[in-house]
Chains A and B, each alone.
Chain A
Amino acid sequence: MDYAIKSAGEVSIVEMNQSAWVIGIDTGGTFTDLAAVNVATGTKHVTKVPSTPGNPAEGILGALRTFSLECGAHLGQITFLAHGTTVATNAVLEGRGARAGLLINRGFHAIYEMRAGTRPGQVDLVDPRYQKPRSLIPLSLTRGVSGRVAYDGAIIEPLDEDDVRQAVESLREEGVESIAVVCLFSFMNPSQEERIGAIIREAYPGCRVSLSSQVLPVIREYPRLSTTALDAYVGPVVERYFQDLQLRARREGLNTQQFYVMQSNGGLMRIVLAVHYPNETLLSGPAAGVVFGTRLGEQTGDENLVTLDMGGTSTDMSVIRRGGFSLTREGKIAGQEIGTPMIEIETLGAGGGAIAWIAKDGLMKVGPQSAGAAPGPACYGKGGQEPTVTDANVALGYLDAGRFLGGRMQGSAELAREALARVGRGLGLDAIETAIGVNRIVNTHIAGGLRLTLTDKGCDPSRFTLVAFGGSGPVHAWRVAEDVGIPRIIIPPHPGIGCAIGLLQTDVIHVYMQSYLVDLGTALLGEINERFVSLEKRAYEDASVEGFPREDVRLVRQLDLRYPHQSYELSVDCPLHELTEEDRALIRAAFDAQHEQVYGISGPDEKVEVVNVRVRSVVPQRHTTAMQTEKQPDAGEGGPRGRRMAYFEALGGFAEAMVYDRALLSPGNRVPGPAIVEQLDSTTVIGPAWLGRVDTFGNIIIEKKSGEGA
């Protein structure tokens, strides 16, 4: 009974084979989620198995086996597999990367240790005990080598190859598994770095090599070094993992060549290529959630969205503008700077498991400590004593402690209230007052993050739609939206497995960039056009290697622009035709407007510099739309299943809310707030001023009731 996945096109690139399946697998901290779609029938299947942090491949194979069992399919029937992983991230977070060495220009050992650009948080600003993040490669494994390139790419000191061989030999004796090579100005002239790379391969076969001119060919030695060191540090770990995963999956019968890995930049890359770009997978996990939100927006016709992926330990948010997410070149993981473009994702240490506590200043704080899966929130009755966001949600009536996981798990509202009362006592608050406080604080915290995420880019919240998923996202969405001034919310049919679904909707993406420093006002447009064309040629070539026809490739042209003395650029879209004088003025005006919007001021009388010419190629992949609700044939009218008291400030306190069963809702159903919609993987709360309705795709669209404004 599949009524929803029927639009043509979404399965077009996979051979129409009765027995073919496409699969997305996301490894999370607690669960490994699998989303599968049968290409011919559109049948969908969802599996959740426990993650296996020791070797995540275990969990993936476990998920595949479960899928195989439950769907009666063998792995040979899988024609497409996309994977989101946290292997690289965890290696950095847990300090389990490879023993790596660093070769750098002689006499420049201090660059890495100085950690330029590292800025501590507000509380560390005058702390005499402040420590910088630890370098991933110690000084004892750093060697200086001869050779020097000048600012303009000229070689001012030749490379002494014996000198390099000696350095490599001593690192080999130290037992390094990989070597990072960072030479000053290698982004202008990579020849010395490349020669060093060749010498390493020759003198120390089997050692992994990370060249800064390949990892991140841009100006500023420190971010380039930090990124290259990360590449060397996680490289062997990621490589081993990907190879092991492929090998074991093949052994169990997986034979598709269409095996992809999610990258931090929101695109897929073939797993056989991904081993060469380990640092590109540092945000592999959360990136799929952002893609999921983007696709959902395409489905519902929303171009401007902000995603809210709230799980147990953290909340990820990201902005999607005009149908596209933004990339940053100033990312950071565990204090380590990453200069390669990654989706701009703001992560807050505030999920459903975040613990409420009283700080020294006498104010209540929520998070970043989380009760995690064990002991979990107090209401789980697994020994947790400290109140969490989830406990507050139980006390306020948003969650039904008797029906966790659709009734598969029995919790206790009493335990939640007791834990809340314990913390509230010091402030003279009872359990409910404390719960209200916890709820407000976490909502404000998330709202602050959302607002910062939006306003940092000059986005007006009133023109945005909030996409809420993850187990806790749909509980808090309406309140957060109200705080920030977002008038519209989408709750997808299966909020709890958004990332796995996102993997089935992710495009194959490549970005091509060339530095070209020139004054926009006087630049020869022919020169810029030429660069666009040559970058596009590379894009088409790569696509053809990956087996995609030219007409499937979509291109975006951009110029990175700035005022002459600035060093941070704004990317401005350009038309796909040959640029004309008219375009020059339009691009200029668009830059001034964007600057005014972002920085509160602009300089229309200043010159504008072009810094980079950029082409982004996208081969769209649409293996599924958002997964639909499995509607029962006899679902009926989708009326409320019952009612309970829940807290709504605007109604003066506890008020009666209708309780709905998500599985019984069908397109066209209306759910006026105050209401609560329950389902296996999440609970959606709809505030009093809001009205939910189920769209044709099974999403709940929540908007302000008419007459009440946004």
Chain B
Amino acid sequence: MTVDPITLEVVRNRLGEIVGTMERLLFHSGYSPILRESFDGSACILDGNGQAVVGSGMPIHLFPYYYTVQAIIQRHGERMRPGDAFILNDPYVGGSLHVPDVAIVTPVFYQGQRVAFCASIAHKPDIGGLVAGSSGAGAREIFHEGLLIPGVRYWTSDGVNPDVEAMLRHNSRTPDEVLGDLRAQVGCTRVGRRRLMELCDEYGVETVTESFELLIQRAERLLRMELLSLPDGEQEAEGFLDDDGVDLGHPVRFHVRIRKQGEEIEFDYSGSNPQVKGPVNLRPQSSETAAALALIGYLDPSIPINDGPRRLLRFVNPPGLVTNVQHPAPINTYYATMLLLFSCVQLALSKFDPARAIAPPGFSAGGITFGYAQSRTGQPAVQYELIGSSLGGTPAGDGAFGTSPLYHITTSQPVEILETEYPLQVTRFELLPDSAGDGKHRGGPAYLREYRLLTEAKFSLRRGGARDGGWGVVGGHGPRPSTCIVNPGTDCEERLPALATRDLKPGDIVRLTSPGGGGYGSPLERDPLAVLEDVRNGLVSREVAREVYGVVVRPGLDGVDEMATAEVRGGRRERSAG
């Protein structure tokens, strides 16, 4: 039987609706702020063979789902039963990007056949390991990064497996939140399972399973069609992290060579650094995701992010590289690394077709963790926040403020939630002037966020290489990199490196600035009125307006001095020509 195009569109809508519901339930019933306030989680429907059909939430979980469910199938295969739900987080077994990303996988049986999986991945506030939050600069092995779960039965038709639950409870600094988040994950996959079975009742199981395959093929075909619009050839790009946090001052190279011919495309990472001792390495699920999302975002972001693209993309990624790290190396700071690699891929793609060039987000993004022995409730607590970035300029316009091109979710948590739950104060949260990469279309600005500790805390900082904040394209400038300063302006001021762990005492100040986005095109080509607006909004100083953009803003900020601007810009162009 063949599913007709109309029915396929119907089933596609229904699947989108089901996975959207799963995601919403996850965020609304989750316990930890990282899940319910930062939305660091996702839901996915996979076919009976574990291929992702449709996902919702964090798009960087696409490849993880595939690898995770393959691992569950391998381990449990025919022994899976209706009512089972499995749990996995080991990045060397399944697809977790790092250890805190715990997956729940619930097989869906229909008339005795396994026809699908409903799955969910959500970042846990703490799953054990060296430091609060599990992800620490000091990790030298994966064993330092938290409890590793290889894919075991967590739920059966009788309910939760109390032995596994007890094990989890005793391996986390925040057991209530971890178990509550897992309950939300199991719940949403069970709701998804129920809805999928109803869909099979309605349309017949063959129609549903065949639609799975057709939807995967369709995404692949869409990507192939878009690839035809890209000139053939070979391009490369590279970027560096300052170091791995262990061998200080030794830059870590990430290199990609893209070979593109017709509908085929290959990403060759073999020019990248060998794997390193510090936790900035990537597992293949992370380095592949970086390329897939960079490509889809560059060509056409509306292409469904499912297993179709994975079938099409070819990788040269030998084991032992920083992009294909081998057991038991640490990987907890994968995110900043992935963002750098993602930016390298988009830079190389921009060389194929400069008219579509995209400036990168600032990639010294990452995360911070405060671990408290006692929170407001008297219980130990872990406060986890992402350090966001801002987008780079594109031919379409300026980069957006405070988001990441790998997932447009907001990374800052509400001040009122933080202060209510944790013993600290947020003292500043403002936009940072002159922080974006300047350009015809500038990058999004950076923000400054400052905390004052009210009790002792263990602080962990994890971000990408600090000196190289990003680059501009087609004549645009790079942004300012991120910074983290403890007790700024005092005798005990300390500028922290990219990766750091510190003990903080009451009264200590932590001042963080995020990276801005890179610029697109020459700043001298920016519309003077747009520069004026930036000055009025406090995003660009009058000095930078004049020195970099060549725009002279009148003293009352009520307009542009056009004559002076023409003069400055004229002189600047001559100089750059000469």
Distance (whole angstroms) from the CB of A185 to the closest CB of chain B: 6
Size of interface on A: residues with Cβ below 8 Å to B: 67
A127 to B356, CA, bound (A): 13
The one of B6, B188, B416, B431 in contact with A219, judged by C-beta atoms closer than 8 angstroms, is B416
Which residues 180-222 of B sit at the A interface, judged by CB distance below 8 A? 180, 183-184, 186-188, 190-191, 194-195, 218, 222
Size of interface on B: residues with Cβ below 8 Å to A: 89
With A122-B16, A129-B397, A441-B10: A600-B191 Cβ-Cβ less than 8 Å: yes
- The yes or no answer to A333 lying at the interface (CB within 8 A) is no
Contact partners of B409 in chain A: CB under 8 A: 119
Q: Compute the total of residue contacts between A and B using a CB distance below 8 Å.
A: 219
B429 touches A125 (CB 8 A): no
Distance (whole angstroms) from the CB of A612 to the closest CB of chain B: 15
The one of A107, A127, A156, A598 in contact with B301, judged by C-beta atoms closer than 8 angstroms, is A127
With A128-B298, A565-B180: A599-B222 Cβ-Cβ less than 8 Å: no
Binary interface encoding of chain B residues 422-459 relative to chain A, with 1 for a CB under 8 A from any of its CBs, else 0: 00010111110000000000000001111000000000
B410 touches A117 (CB 8 A): yes
Q: Which residue of B lies closest to A517 (CB)?
A: B420
Segment of A278-286, A357-365, A700-708 engaged in the interface with chain B: A357-365
Contact partners of A118 in chain B: CB under 8 A: 410
Binary interface encoding of chain B residues 362-397 relative to chain A, with 1 for a CB under 8 A from any of its CBs, else 0: 000000000000001000000000000001101011
Q: Which residue of B lies closest to A109 (CB)?
A: B430
B417 touches A219 (CB 8 A): yes
Contact partners of A7 in chain B: CB under 8 A: none
With A129-B394, A131-B400, A601-B186: A566-B431 Cβ-Cβ less than 8 Å: no
A565 touches B31 (CB 8 A): yes
With A110-B430, A126-B305: A440-B6 Cβ-Cβ less than 8 Å: yes
Distance (whole angstroms) from the CB of B10 to the closest CB of chain A: 4
- The yes or no answer to A220 lying at the interface (CB within 8 A) is yes
With A110-B447, A129-B394: A220-B414 Cβ-Cβ less than 8 Å: yes
Distance (whole angstroms) from the CB of B382 to the closest CB of chain A: 12
Contact partners of B533 in chain A: CB under 8 A: 140
Contact partners of B415 in chain A: CB under 8 A: 108, 111, 184, 221
Contact partners of A361 in chain B: CB under 8 A: 218, 222
Segment of A74-82, A395-403, A450-458, A574-582 engaged in the interface with chain B: A450-458
With A599-B29, A603-B183: A116-B297 Cβ-Cβ less than 8 Å: no
A213 to B14, CA, bound (A): 41
Binary interface encoding of chain B residues 394-418 relative to chain A, with 1 for a CB under 8 A from any of its CBs, else 0: 1011001111011111101111110
Contact partners of A110 in chain B: CB under 8 A: 402, 412, 429-431, 447-449
A131 to B447, CA, bound (A): 17
- The yes or no answer to A298 lying at the interface (CB within 8 A) is no
Contact partners of B25 in chain A: CB under 8 A: 598-600
A437 to B4, CA, bound (A): 10
- The yes or no answer to A668 lying at the interface (CB within 8 A) is no
- The yes or no answer to A114 lying at the interface (CB within 8 A) is yes
The one of A107, A140, A363, A564 in contact with B428, judged by C-beta atoms closer than 8 angstroms, is A107
Contact partners of A115 in chain B: CB under 8 A: 402, 410
Which residues 221-264 of B sit at the A interface, judged by CB distance below 8 A? 222, 225
A129 to B301, CA, bound (A): 9
B29 touches A568 (CB 8 A): yes
A126 touches B29 (CB 8 A): no
The one of B17, B39, B408 in contact with A127, judged by C-beta atoms closer than 8 angstroms, is B408
Contact partners of A362 in chain B: CB under 8 A: 5, 218
A128 touches B29 (CB 8 A): no
B9 touches A455 (CB 8 A): no
Contact partners of A601 in chain B: CB under 8 A: 29, 183-184, 186-187, 190
A5 to B392, CA, bound (A): 65
- The yes or no answer to B537 lying at the interface (CB within 8 A) is yes
Which residues 288-318 of B sit at the A interface, judged by CB distance below 8 A? 293, 296-298, 300-302, 305
A126 touches B293 (CB 8 A): yes
Q: Which residue of A lies closest to B298 (CB)?
A: A128
Distance (whole angstroms) from the CB of A631 to the closest CB of chain B: 40
A451 touches B17 (CB 8 A): yes
- The yes or no answer to B323 lying at the interface (CB within 8 A) is no
B428 touches A221 (CB 8 A): no
Binary interface encoding of chain B residues 537-571 relative to chain A, with 1 for a CB under 8 A from any of its CBs, else 0: 11100000000000000000000000000000000
A595 to B394, CA, bound (A): 45
A111 to B29, CA, bound (A): 25
B29 touches A595 (CB 8 A): yes
The one of B24, B188, B302, B430 in contact with A456, judged by C-beta atoms closer than 8 angstroms, is B24
The one of A219, A441, A566 in contact with B420, judged by C-beta atoms closer than 8 angstroms, is A219
A599 to B6, CA, bound (A): 31
A452 touches B402 (CB 8 A): no
Which residues 612-649 of A sit at the B interface, judged by CB distance below 8 A? none
Distance (whole angstroms) from the CB of B415 to the closest CB of chain A: 6
- The yes or no answer to B32 lying at the interface (CB within 8 A) is yes
- The yes or no answer to A120 lying at the interface (CB within 8 A) is yes
- The yes or no answer to A524 lying at the interface (CB within 8 A) is no
B430 touches A107 (CB 8 A): yes
- The yes or no answer to A448 lying at the interface (CB within 8 A) is yes
A125 touches B301 (CB 8 A): yes
A542 to B416, CA, bound (A): 32
A249 to B331, CA, bound (A): 70
- The yes or no answer to A563 lying at the interface (CB within 8 A) is yes
Distance (whole angstroms) from the CB of B267 to the closest CB of chain A: 16
Contact partners of A441 in chain B: CB under 8 A: 6, 9-10
Binary interface encoding of chain A residues 180-196 relative to chain B, with 1 for a CB under 8 A from any of its CBs, else 0: 00001100000000000
A123 to B56, CA, bound (A): 11
Contact partners of A563 in chain B: CB under 8 A: 31, 180
Distance (whole angstroms) from the CB of B574 to the closest CB of chain A: 33
Distance (whole angstroms) from the CB of A468 to the closest CB of chain B: 20
With A108-B429, A363-B9, A567-B36: A130-B400 Cβ-Cβ less than 8 Å: yes
Contact partners of A566 in chain B: CB under 8 A: 28-31, 36, 180
- The yes or no answer to B274 lying at the interface (CB within 8 A) is no
Which residues 9-24 of B sit at the A interface, judged by CB distance below 8 A? 9-10, 12-14, 16-17, 20-21, 24
Q: Which residue of A lies closest to B517 (CB)?
A: A128
B14 touches A132 (CB 8 A): no
Distance (whole angstroms) from the CB of A604 to the closest CB of chain B: 11
- The yes or no answer to B176 lying at the interface (CB within 8 A) is yes
Contact partners of B420 in chain A: CB under 8 A: 151, 219
B194 touches A600 (CB 8 A): yes
Distance (whole angstroms) from the CB of B302 to the closest CB of chain A: 4
The one of B59, B407, B416 in contact with A184, judged by C-beta atoms closer than 8 angstroms, is B416
A568 to B414, CA, bound (A): 14
- Residue with the greatest number of chain B CB neighbours at <10 A, chosen from A114, A116, A150, A565: A565
16 A-B contact pairs sorted by A residue (CB < 8 Å): A108-B415, A109-B538, A110-B431, A119-B408, A123-B301, A125-B59, A125-B301, A125-B305, A129-B397, A151-B420, A220-B417, A361-B222, A364-B9, A437-B6, A444-B13, A568-B36
Closest 10 CB pairs of A and B: A601-B187, A565-B31, A127-B301, A600-B187, A600-B191, A139-B537, A107-B428, A123-B302, A126-B297, A140-B536
Binding site for B on A (CB under 8 A): 107-111, 113-120, 122-132, 138-140, 150-151, 156, 184-185, 219-222, 360-365, 427, 436-437, 440-441, 444-445, 448, 451-452, 455-456, 563-568, 595, 598-601, 603, 606
Taking A107-B428, A114-B401, A123-B302 as given, write out 20 further A-B residue pairs in contact, using a Cβ cutoff of 8 Å, ordered by the A residue number: A107-B427, A119-B39, A126-B301, A126-B407, A127-B297, A127-B405, A128-B392, A130-B400, A184-B415, A219-B416, A219-B417, A220-B416, A361-B222, A364-B9, A440-B10, A441-B9, A455-B21, A564-B176, A565-B32, A565-B180
Binding site for A on B (CB under 8 A): 5-6, 8-10, 12-14, 16-17, 20-21, 24-25, 28-33, 36-37, 39, 56, 59, 176-177, 180, 183-184, 186-188, 190-191, 194-195, 218, 222, 225, 293, 296-298, 300-302, 305, 346, 358, 376, 391-392, 394, 396-397, 400-403, 405-410, 412-417, 419-420, 425, 427-431, 447-450, 533, 536-539
